Amino acid sequence: MTTQKVKPLFDIYKTQTTEPIPNHWDWILISIIIFSLLLVVYLNFSGRVFQPLFNLAKASDWTRFIIRPSLMWGFMGLVLLIFRTFLWMRYKPFPSVMFADAPTLTIIIPAYNEGNMVEKCIDSVATALYPHDKLEIFVVDDGSKDNTWQHIQNAAKRYPGLVTTVRFNENRGKRAALEAGFRQAKGEIAVTIDSDSVIERNTLLAIAGPFADPNVGAVAGKVLVYNKYDGLIPRMLHVRYMLSFDFLRAAQSTYGTVYCCPGALSAYRVSVVKELLDEWVKQTFLGELCTYGEDRALTNYVLLHGYDTVYQRTAVVKTIVPVKYIKLSKMYLRWDRSYIKEEFRFASIVWKRRPLPRLIAIIDVFITNLRYPVSYAILALLVIMSVNDPSTILRLLFAIGFMSFLNTLYYLRSERSWDFIYGIFYAYYAFFMLFWVFPYAAITLRARSWMTR
């Protein structure tokens, strides 16, 4: 297959290639997205939807203190969404490496109480399209208490000379499991894959592609849901993952600053990792050794050392997601704790980026993080307002539904499926069932558990 080079956005990345020319559906969908964004601007600033808020903004000092900054943040958020949309449309995947020219690759699979899923993970890697003489697979059992080790051994017997197994006598944490693989890695590139995930056949060739650019230090893969049909939560998360792992990371990739290369599938230049490995392993926060949030932390260290982090849409992994509320809550608690810790670190790292990526990242992070104080303040105000004006609740529900519908349009460009409806369900589910997670994560930052079981 031949590829056609295009002029890179802001001259930041240079190895990406064009995708097929958009068809009529693409142009229709993009037109709807642009129209919807303009409609949101009109509805917000005409006061037709949130007229009570406009009235309150004039009522007293304390309401003005909440409403006016909220309206300003809403405007900035819309501008940011429009800009992200432009970057997302501009993003092009990197070309995969050719089979004959593939670099040496080390796969690291950390496992803890994974059962038979780890065997499926190993099988997907060992049978992937990649030359075996340039491939090594490390599987690390982090002190599992179930039959995970037996499944690892079963897989290792099927692929002698390809799979190397390591077993900890006790649970030491995912970071320690990954470290064991990084220390022994002989490949030019190290790929980390969660043990509850399986990759597509072309994923290894695809994820190695971006490293043709010497400025790239880490690559984030595209994460989809493996157990999509196991219930409402997996269906909702399938749409959610598409938006967070494709839309956001595609936009971030265009300026070489993907904020988190996910544990489910990421790749790192081994020479870079070995430079920063000791720092990463010994990382502390509030006096406690960091044992989780290893993916976001490692991404930050790669950025700190001056390398770009990018996204490869064609490198696909499918991962198991929670099917029950309690496990979903634990997953988000772990993510939010890591997010809070690493946002503080990124605030100091971002200043060392190149001028244009630095400016974009600062604006992006600033506006994005303002959503927490603003949203909780406006939520409290809306609760008070609804006592006197119950129609406020209907207005709020309409706003949630409309904005979630707008988000699902991005999903529809990638998947022509009625599953986009689950993205709207997710918006309501998150609003009513998960609103407490971030505040709780903020006050329990010192927790150290994997929280995956």
pLDDT of residue 284: 82
Mean pLDDT of the region 287-308: 90
Structure confidence at residue 202 (pLDDT): 96
Q: How confident is the model at residue 450 (pLDDT cuts 50, 70, 90)?
A: very low
Model pLDDT, residue 14: 40
pLDDT in tens, 64-78: 556 666 667 677 777
How many other β-carbons are positioned within 10 Å of the β-carbon of residue 180?
17
Q: Residue 50: which pLDDT band, with cuts at 50, 70 and 90?
A: low
- Residue 258 backbone zone (phi > 0: left; psi -120 to 50: alpha; other: beta): beta
Q: Is the pLDDT of residue 46 over 60?
A: no
Burial class (CB in 10 A: 0-12, 13-18, 19+), 282: exposed
Residue 151 scores a pLDDT above 50: yes
pLDDT of residue 391: 73
Q: What is the pLDDT of residue 3?
A: 37
Q: What is the pLDDT of residue 19?
A: 47
Average model confidence (pLDDT) across the chain: 85
Per-residue pLDDT for 193 more than 50?
A: yes
Report whether pLDDT(17) > 70.
no
For the segment 289-318, the average pLDDT, to the nearest whole number, is 93
Which pairing describes strands 284-285 and 163-167: parallel, antiparallel, or unpaired?
A: unpaired
Average pLDDT over residues 319-342: 94
Burial label, 238 (beta-carbon count in 10 A; 0-12, 13-18, 19+): buried
Whether 109 shows a pLDDT value over 60: the answer reads: yes
pLDDT at residue 163 greater than cutoff 90: yes
Distance CA 453, CA 447 (A): 15
Predicted confidence at residue 183, as pLDDT, reads 94
Question: Average of pLDDT values for 46-64?
Answer: 54
Pick the range with the lowest mean pLDDT from 300-314, 324-338, 347-361, 399-413: 399-413
Q: How confident is the model at residue 145 (pLDDT cuts 50, 70, 90)?
A: very high
SS3 per-residue string spanning the chain: CCCCECCCHHHCCCCCECCCCCCHHHHHHHHHHHHHHHHHHHHHHHCCCCHHHHHHHCCCHHHHHHHHHHHHHHHHHHHHHHHHHHHHHHCCCCCCCCHHHCCCEEEEEEECCCCCHHHHHHHHHHCCCCCHHHEEEEEEECCCCCCHHHHHHHHHHHCCCCEEEEECCCCCCHHHHHHHHHHHCCCCEEEEECCCEEECCCHHHHHHHHHHCCCEEEEEEEEEECCCCCCHHHHHHHHHHHHHHHHHHHHHHCCCECCCCCCCEEEEEHHHHHHHHHHHHCCEECCEECCCCHHHHHHHHHHHCCCEEEEEEEEEEEECCCCCHHHHHHHHHHHHHHHHHHHHHHHHHHHHCCHHHHHHHHHHHHHHHCHHHHHHHHHHHHHHHHHHCCHHHHHHHHHHHHHHHHHHHHHHHHCCCCCHHHHHHHHHHHHHHCCCHHHHHHCCCCCCCCCCC
pLDDT at 344 over 60: yes
Query: Is residue 411 predicted with pLDDT exceeding 70?
Result: yes
Specify the pLDDT at position 286: 75
Distance CA 109, CA 152 (A): 10
Q: Which structure tokens are listed for 218?
A: 């880490």
pLDDT at 4 over 60: no
pLDDT at position 372: 82
pLDDT for res 10: 42
Which residue has better confidence, 270 or 408? 270
Is residue 118 scored above 50 in pLDDT? yes
More confident residue, 394 or 342: 342
| pLDDT average, residue stretch 43-47 | 58
Binning pLDDT at 50, 70 and 90, where does residue 180 land? very high
Structure tokens at 452: 């995956």
Q: What is the pLDDT of residue 399?
A: 77
Res 82: pLDDT: 84
Per-residue model confidence as pLDDT tens digits over 88-108: 989 999 999 999 999 999 999
- So what's the pLDDT on residue 404? 85
What is the Cα–Cα distance from 148 to 155, expressed in whole angstroms?
A: 11
Which range (55-59, 246-250, 368-372, 407-411) has the least confidence? 55-59
To the nearest whole percent, how much of the chain has pLDDT over 90? 60
